[in-house]
Amino acid sequence: MIRGIRGATTVERDHESEVLAATTELMNALIEKNGIKPDRVASLLFSATADIRSAFPSKVMRQFSGWKYVPIMNMQEIPVEGSLARCIRILIHVDTDLGQEDVKHVYLRHAAALRPDLTE
């Protein structure tokens, strides 16, 4: 079954090193908590708010072994008034045996406010 696994995080400043570090932290958490193997991933989507312009969040995937052939795309979030600033979101479409309720979505830093019902 293909499941969507979600995650989000924030950065304090729009600097490439901070964007890439936060994205790496989020990807590592998603992979670890859900036992994700790259050969089971159908696609990987990254989005960032308009105030992040220093780096493509997906650039971090070059350091992850085995992810070379996974289709990856970056996009910009809709700039809704009052929305969370400097936010990076990830959606992974993965073939998994996990039930919908067993998927572990990950919301880090200020992004934990987006889905307090899913934050551990």
Question: Quick one: pLDDT at residue 76?
Answer: 98
Neighbouring residues of 107: CB distance < 8 A, sequence distance ≥ 6: 7, 8, 9, 113, 114, 115, 118, 119
Tell me the binding residues: 6, 89, 107
Domain of 69, in residue numbers = 2-113
Q: For 67-110, write each residue's pLDDT tens digit.
A: 999 999 999 999 999 999 999 999 999 999 999 999 999 999 99
Q: For 26-51, write each residue's pLDDT tens digit.
A: 999 999 999 999 999 999 999 999 99
**The total number of structural domains that make up the chain:** 1
For the record, the structure tokens of 69 come out as: 């052939």
Tell me the binding residues for prephenate: 6, 89, 107
- Predicted TM-score (pTM) of the model is 0.96
- 21 residue type, one letter: A
- 64 residue type, one letter: F
Q: What CATH code is carried by the domain that includes residue 106?
A: 3.30.1330.40
Is 119 inside a domain boundary? no
